[in-house]
A and B are shown apart, each in its own frame.
Chain A
Amino acid sequence: MKTIENVSLHVSRRGFLHGALASGVFVLSARLIPQPVWAAEAEAAAPPFQPSLWMSIASDGTVTIVAHRSEMGCGSRTALPLVVADELDADWSKVKIDQATGDPKYGDQDTDGSHSVRSSFDLMRQVGATGRVMLISAAAAQWKVSPKECTAESHFVVHRASGRKVGYGEVAAAAAKLPVPKKKDVPLKSRSQWRYIGKESNSLFDLPEMVTGKTIFGMDAAMPGMVYASVEHPPVLGQKIKSYDDKAALKVPGVQKTLTIDTFKPPHQFQPLGGVAVIADNTWAAFKGRKSLKVEWDSSPHSEYNSAPFRKTLAATSRKPGKVVRNVGDVDAEFAKGGKIIEAEYYTPHLAHVSMEPPVAVAEYRDGKVLAWAPTQNPQAVQETIASVLGIKKEDVTCHVTLLGGGFGRKSKPDQVAEAAVLSKQLGKPVKVVWTREDDIHCDFFHSVAAMYMKAAIGADGRPTAWLQRTVYPPIGSTFDISATYALDEMGLGWNNLPFDIPNHRAENGPADYHVRIGWLRSVANIYHAFAIHSFADELAHNANKDCVQYLLDLIGPPRIVPLEYKEEDADEKQRYPLDTARWRRVVEIAAEKSGWGKRPMGKGRGMGIAAHRSFLTYVATVVEVEVDGKGQVHIPGVWTALDAGTVVSPDNVRNQFEGAAVFGTSLALFGEITATNGAIDQSNFNNYQLARMNRAPRHVDVQIVKSEAPPAGVGEPGVPPFAPALYNAVFAATGKRVRELPLSKTKLV
């Protein structure tokens, strides 16, 4: 039997940098974290600077760096330790990474919002540099020379004048006895001194194990004596068990028993959905037993949810005035003048995350405490959720973070971890909960369904003199507050911060009720916002008979800093990340140039489209080329993306993220659609919720990273939003058909 030891991260066990010293505090950027978990966030947001939390050096020279962000494919677990190692001047081959358990002492640990590097870059530099200064001080003291005469060079402290050098491991014990220097006495390296940050040679820390099958994902975690569980969830959100018959299930070889899990009390937050769990000797027996289970469910307020009529409701709301979230000039006065008015409506359906590893977790409840192993983006949310569901203290929940087989936002919600804990408490032994793909799709925290209404008044030069944009969708806030109907943080995701150079501009949001769990999915509301904005911009360009790239540049306007309303907690973001249209224009120009925009004959059925969107503080422009064949099937021979994400830690990984974003974008643009009938989700597996396969994915994706010394911005998500509108604009160029809804598979092009 595979076992997992109760491994705790004794990060200071080898000694070195110890003692808490509140010499520095880092500030988090505000992110898409809904209200009910703000309290925990706030508490976790400002820990004292304590280098020993993050790093230790053993006498053999092994440097152990703690990764406090999860690895779900974006490279955070590698990038942050690389930054520490760089400032420490450590030899990367002597670096080990320990994955942090969930603990407020690490500050916020939620790997989401494309902010891991952005939020922790400065802190990680400080940690590494502090270590370097202490090692140099210790060596200098031994040599009785001034630390100023010594340098750190790849795991050694060197005194050039005398030719002496000492390895980090040999001097670590002495360094550990020194006081932690103040921030002002810790010089950071200049950019030219960086040995890892920004280097092409960086690769994922876990790469060798990934190609040999040795990595431990959540699916691979195990505890001694554990049993396996598969849970039959209510098909409609909020349903409770009316009755169930487990006689046939219990006859399946390997099935031990069945247990029930209470349906949550609203709001559902990250609580278990409820249902009947089949407990078995192995995963297969649990799955098989579940198929023989007969469960009757009571009714739910969401049993009337049907996607087709709901779409009509959303669209109707989008035609009515909504809550104003940004206003420049007076669009109404401009519209009242008459002249040319263009209106358009757009629609995007629910999407499911479908990370390749379905939700899974192992947990053991014992003596009022829980130990869990989970592929989670947010181990602190695991602590919070389990503590709340079981009525124990969150300090009594230990969450170890495995690698994640994809996350895309789904795995910041730990409902399946809580299921394992609830079942373990009932059984008195560790439980591994494994979701099937069907469970994953039926019971996701779905990307919201959205309707957008756009209206513009067009001036004599073909440019808009007024622009109204209205968006309507069940908000993420409904997951935390059942009365929430208006969006909150989603407004900052490409809606209230559109810097088009239009004298009259208003952005609005209309209300919508939720009927399934709504969550955030890679790039979140930017997906539908960018789809509407950049489809509409393209429509206006064609209407004006202008080149789409030039028209887009004209809309963005001259290089300038665009003033935006920021929330108080975003002051740091406003200062460090001003909305700079020069950077936006540059990515448009680069993508257009690389794609050969306007310079290559397209021929029949071929065309190119462009969109440019800023999200997670990164500027991205994407050109998509399509070929629509005689059957109306869309092929994508090329994609050209240019991005400005400020300072980049691992360029090759960033390219990989944007190459992947083009495929993720292809999936949602061509196929992605989740629908509900009488409250239950219609799709179930990859046969009816299709993803782009190699033969439908873009044939070639070119990614250009703008060299920048600006602070680091996001890279995991920003590649997604411009893709769908660029693709649709290309389809229009190729076929003359303007499609205003996702996915494209619903529209016959020929």
Chain B
Amino acid sequence: MIQFKVNGQEKKFDGDPEMPLLWYLRDVAELSGTKFGCGMALCGACTVHQNGAAIRSCTTAMSEIGGTEITTIEGIAPMHPVQKAWMEIRVPQCGYCQTGQIMQAIAFLKDNKNPSDQDIDTAMSGNLCRCGTYQRIRAAIHQAAKHQATTHPTMKHPTMKHPAPKHPAAKHQAAKETT
């Protein structure tokens, strides 16, 4: 029995210890914000935090997470300065890789409060974006660093232009949360 925490909640797992954390999160814990992109730690779409450090959940076996704290994009609340910057810079196109990018950026900014372009490139080059939003990701990380320097990290949720959820499929998410 493997015991660990996900987004602050105690969890237990007695399935296949070789199962990558990614598939535990998605198929068992039903936290779908963490994405599958390559299965080989080549793209970063599956990035989560283990004890605060960014890891690739697609190559982290369940046997490796006992006693640790896992944080996924769903556990980043209230809205983080990085997410706020992502909205201000309007980074996403399709959005699929962005949760992994954001998790990578959050962990990176904890260690480097005022990164250079070079620092950002080094930290973020493990995260692929096929839509090609790198220029905006770099700008958003600089902006988030500024936000972090001037505001409390748990800032208020910025004004959203739209009520959520809106996508028809999102209805099932809302229904799920109440059952």
Find B90's partner among A228, A436, A652, A693 (CB 8 Å cutoff).
A652
The stretch among A120-128, A176-184, A308-316, A661-669 that forms the contact with chain B is: A661-669
Interface contact A71-B94, CB-CB below 8 Å: yes
Find A211's partner among B30, B86, B129 (CB 8 Å cutoff).
B86
Give the chain B neighbours of A656 by CB distance below 8 A. Answer: 90, 93, 133, 136
Find B132's partner among A2, A403, A659 (CB 8 Å cutoff).
A659
Q: How far is the CB of B25 from chain A (nearest CB, A)?
A: 11
Interface contact B28-A661, CB-CB below 8 Å: no
CB of B51 closer than 8 Å to a CB of A = no
Give the chain A neighbours of B164 by CB distance below 8 A. Answer: 208-209, 214
The answer to whether residues A213 and B167 also contact, given A2-B30, A358-B36, A687-B42 and a CB cut-off of 8 A, is no
Give the chain A neighbours of B138 by CB distance below 8 A. Answer: 694
Give the bracket for the number of chain A residues in contact with chain B: 35 or more
Find B23's partner among A4, A95, A214, A282 (CB 8 Å cutoff).
A282
CB of B2 closer than 8 Å to a CB of A = no
Q: Mark B39-80, 1 if CB is under 8 A from A, else 0.
A: 110110100000000000000000000000000111010010
CB of A695 closer than 8 Å to a CB of B = yes
CB of A212 closer than 8 Å to a CB of B = yes
The answer to whether residues A209 and B132 also contact, given A220-B32, A686-B42 and a CB cut-off of 8 A, is no
Give the chain B neighbours of A254 by CB distance below 8 A. Answer: 15-16
Find A209's partner among B43, B134, B167 (CB 8 Å cutoff).
B167
Bound complex: CA of A699 vs CA of B20, how far in Å?
A: 34
Interface contact A216-B169, CB-CB below 8 Å: yes
Interface contact A98-B39, CB-CB below 8 Å: no
Interface contact A93-B93, CB-CB below 8 Å: no
Q: How far is the CB of A39 from chain B (nearest CB, A)?
A: 29
CB of B155 closer than 8 Å to a CB of A = no
The answer to whether residues A694 and B33 also contact, given A96-B166, A661-B132 and a CB cut-off of 8 A, is no
CB of B83 closer than 8 Å to a CB of A = yes
Interface contact A700-B172, CB-CB below 8 Å: no
Q: How far is the CB of B136 from chain A (nearest CB, A)?
A: 7
Give the chain A neighbours of B133 by CB distance below 8 A. Answer: 656, 659-660, 663
Find B137's partner among A97, A287, A694, A695 (CB 8 Å cutoff).
A694
CB of A357 closer than 8 Å to a CB of B = yes
Interface contact B33-A207, CB-CB below 8 Å: no
Within 8 A of B (CB), among A383-440: 400, 402-408, 434, 436-437
Give the chain A neighbours of B30 by CB distance below 8 A. Answer: 1-2
Interface contact A3-B16, CB-CB below 8 Å: no
The answer to whether residues A98 and B131 also contact, given A211-B86, A282-B28, A284-B20 and a CB cut-off of 8 A, is no
The answer to whether residues A96 and B95 also contact, given A656-B133, A697-B134, A700-B135 and a CB cut-off of 8 A, is no
Bound complex: CA of A73 vs CA of B92, how far in Å?
A: 8
Interface contact A405-B102, CB-CB below 8 Å: no
Bound complex: CA of A547 vs CA of B76, how far in Å?
A: 54
Q: How far is the CB of B73 from chain A (nearest CB, A)?
A: 4
The answer to whether residues A4 and B97 also contact, given A213-B73, A659-B132 and a CB cut-off of 8 A, is no
Give the chain B neighbours of A287 by CB distance below 8 A. Answer: 39
Interface contact A356-B134, CB-CB below 8 Å: no
Give the chain A neighbours of B137 by CB distance below 8 A. Answer: 694
Interface contact B121-A404, CB-CB below 8 Å: no
Within 8 A of A (CB), among B84-112: 86-87, 90-99, 102
Bound complex: CA of A701 vs CA of B138, how far in Å?
A: 12
Interface contact A406-B168, CB-CB below 8 Å: no
Give the chain A neighbours of B42 by CB distance below 8 A. Answer: 685-687
The answer to whether residues A4 and B169 also contact, given A288-B18, A663-B134 and a CB cut-off of 8 A, is yes
Q: Which secondary structure dominates where chain B touches chain A? A: loop
Question: Which chain A residue lies CB-closest to B103?
Answer: A213
Interface contact A400-B102, CB-CB below 8 Å: no
Find A405's partner among B72, B94, B122 (CB 8 Å cutoff).
B94
Bound complex: CA of A213 vs CA of B101, how far in Å?
A: 11
Interface contact A354-B90, CB-CB below 8 Å: no
Give the chain B neighbours of A73 by CB distance below 8 A. Answer: 92-95, 131
Bound complex: CA of A699 vs CA of B118, how far in Å?
A: 10
Question: Which chain A residue lies CB-closest to B122?
Answer: A695
CB of B26 closer than 8 Å to a CB of A = yes
CB of A657 closer than 8 Å to a CB of B = yes
Within 8 A of B (CB), among A194-252: 203-217, 219-222, 228
Q: Which secondary structure dominates where chain A touches chain B? A: loop
Q: How far is the CB of A111 from chain B (nearest CB, A)?
A: 12
CB of A283 closer than 8 Å to a CB of B = yes
CB of B34 closer than 8 Å to a CB of A = yes
Q: Mark B138-179, 1 if CB is under 8 A from A, else 0.
A: 100000000000000000000011111111111111011000
Within 8 A of B (CB), among A265-284: 282-284
The answer to whether residues A213 and B125 also contact, given A284-B19, A356-B94 and a CB cut-off of 8 A, is no
Give the chain A neighbours of B167 by CB distance below 8 A. Answer: 97, 99, 206, 209, 215-216, 402-403
Interface contact B94-A213, CB-CB below 8 Å: no
Find B15's partner among A211, A219, A253, A358 (CB 8 Å cutoff).
A253
Interface contact A214-B168, CB-CB below 8 Å: no
The answer to whether residues A5 and B175 also contact, given A212-B79, A253-B15 and a CB cut-off of 8 A, is yes
Interface contact B172-A206, CB-CB below 8 Å: no
Find B168's partner among A75, A400, A700 (CB 8 Å cutoff).
A400
Give the chain B neighbours of A210 by CB distance below 8 A. Answer: 92, 95, 98
Give the chain B neighbours of A220 by CB distance below 8 A. Answer: 26, 32, 169
Q: How far is the CB of B119 from chain A (nearest CB, A)?
A: 11
Interface contact B40-A686, CB-CB below 8 Å: yes
Bound complex: CA of A102 vs CA of B24, how far in Å?
A: 32
Interface contact B38-A213, CB-CB below 8 Å: no
Bound complex: CA of A434 vs CA of B121, how far in Å?
A: 31
Within 8 A of A (CB), among B1-31: 15-16, 18-20, 23, 26-28, 30
CB of A53 closer than 8 Å to a CB of B = no
Bound complex: CA of A657 vs CA of B38, how far in Å?
A: 24
Bound complex: CA of A71 vs CA of B95, how far in Å?
A: 10
5 tightest Cβ-Cβ pairs between the two chains A and B? A213-B33, A663-B132, A405-B96, A73-B94, A660-B132
Residues of B within 8 A of A (CB): 15-16, 18-20, 23, 26-28, 30, 32-40, 42-43, 45, 72-74, 76, 79, 83, 86-87, 90-99, 102, 117, 120-122, 124-138, 160-173, 175-176
7 chain-A/chain-B pairs, Cβ below 8 angstroms? A9-B168, A73-B93, A356-B94, A405-B35, A406-B131, A663-B132, A694-B127
Q: List 15 extra interface pairs beyond A99-B168, A406-B130, A692-B134, CB under 8 A.
A: A1-B30, A4-B172, A204-B92, A212-B33, A213-B33, A215-B167, A216-B167, A282-B19, A282-B23, A284-B23, A405-B94, A656-B90, A693-B126, A695-B122, A697-B135
